[in-house]
Amino acid sequence: MSPRWLGRCPGCGGFNTMVEEVVETRPGSAAVASTSSKPVRLVDVPSDSVTRISTGIPEVDRVLGGGVVPGALMLLGGDPGIGKSTLMLQLAAHVAQGGPVLYVSAEESLAQTRLRMERIIPDAPAEVHLLADGRLDLLEAALLATPWRLVIVDSLQTVYDPEAESAPGSVSQVRQVASRLLRYAKAQDVPVFLVGHVNKEGSGRPRAAGNAA
């Protein structure tokens, strides 16, 4: 990052490769504001055991410490084609047996996502709901309309705030989207999985539609 525009990038050495990023300073949606606004002593916090949600995949449950914690925000990252979306669809089908699950995929149409799900799990439960739109305002409306048991956003780089001036997938957009989804997860006590695509250079980048792993 640089505070001013440079003709040649000091990092990669390329010419005219620097792109302006506009950082949003306005607060997020008031509808998903955090409910914990005052400090609380540790000894005053209720010590009730947390009921974790099983993913149906023992290895995933083990990595998560015994299952998904309500209100947690989790990032699943990796190279394209390694099976992130396949894993998330399997997880969505299992969790939906106990309640509604929202699967957001702005990279594919509803029909494409359904075909993928039916290929992986032919008898997928009816409580898997699909949203094929990357606009953050529409996503937040869908999040607050139903008491979801689990939300999966595939992928983080394709969700964007239409009021922001930067392009979808840019650093400022990813930060803004992740921050708003974190506030939603904490306020509504709903676990959220974010899928992040990483290219060979090690940075996140949205991919062409129809190529989800």
Q: What pLDDT is attached to residue 210? A: 36
128 pairs with which residues across the strands? 101
Strands 101-104 and 128-131: parallel
| CA–CA distance, 156 with 106 (Å, rounded to integer) | 9
Q: What pLDDT is attached to residue 20? A: 65
Domain 30-197 annotated CATH 3.10.20.30: no
Residue-by-residue pLDDT tens, the chain, 213 positions: 566 667 777 766 767 666 666 555 554 444 444 445 789 898 888 877 789 999 999 999 999 999 999 999 999 998 888 999 999 999 999 999 999 999 999 889 999 999 999 999 988 899 999 999 999 999 999 999 999 999 999 999 999 999 988 988 899 999 999 999 999 999 999 999 999 977 555 455 444 333 334
Q: Is the peptide bond before 155 cis (omega within 30 degrees of 0)?
A: yes
